């Protein structure tokens, strides 16, 4: 993968843990959709994208974390929302960003595509992204909180 040009967004922030309404987030998780983005796909899977895949060298690929179906992507997205790994910025009822973690502890980031539809597209976070450590740390803290 080609090195990313420019910086990572320093404005990304998770909602304050004390302000997370886990019941609301659980309800929201059941309503969101996964759209996808062909720039993050080498294998088009069942995402029905146009074009089916159009990987760009500067983009991280979902293939690297073995997310090949819309069902898998949606499950990971919903898990992140339920665990409260959502940005402090909302557009309507939807957080602008959602973070989640794969079973191997690879952090993922999703961006809101449509607030009307509640649809997102996501991708693995590059290891060079300094926000990765915060995502992993908060995943551990918030996963326990969400289950209680």
Does the pTM surpass 0.95? The reply is no
What mean pLDDT comes out for the span 71-78?
A: 94
The CA distance from 14 to 37, in Å, is 23
User: Which sequence spans correspond to the domains of the chain?
Assistant: 17-147
pLDDT digits (tens, 9 = 90+) for 45-73: 666 666 556 556 666 766 677 787 889 99
Got the DSSP string for the chain? -PPPPS---TT--BPPGGG--HHHHHHHHTT-EE---GGG-SS-TT---SSS----TTS--GGGGT--SHHHHHHHHHHHHHTT-BBS-EETTEESEEEEE-TT--EEEEEEEETTTTEEEEEEPPTT-THHHHHHHHHHHHHHHHH-
Residues above pLDDT 70, as percent of the chain: 78
């Amino acid at each position: 993968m080609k090195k990313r040009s420019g910086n990572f967004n320093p404005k990304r922030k998770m909602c304050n843990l004390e302000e997370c309404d886990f019941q609301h987030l659980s309800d929201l998780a059941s309503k969101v959709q996964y759209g996808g983005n062909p720039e993050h796909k080498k294998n088009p899977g069942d995402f029905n994208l146009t074009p089916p895949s159009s990987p760009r060298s500067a983009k991280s690929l979902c293939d690297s974390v073995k997310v090949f179906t819309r069902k898998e992507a949606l499950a990971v997205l919903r898990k992140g929302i339920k665990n409260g790994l959502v940005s402090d910025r909302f557009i309507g009822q939807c957080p602008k960003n959602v973070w989640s973690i794969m079973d191997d502890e690879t952090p993922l980031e999703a961006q809101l595509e449509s607030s009307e539809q509640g649809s997102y597209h996501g991708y693995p976070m590059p290891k060079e992204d300094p926000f990765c450590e915060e995502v992993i740390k908060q995943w551990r803290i918030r996963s326990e909180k969400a289950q209680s």
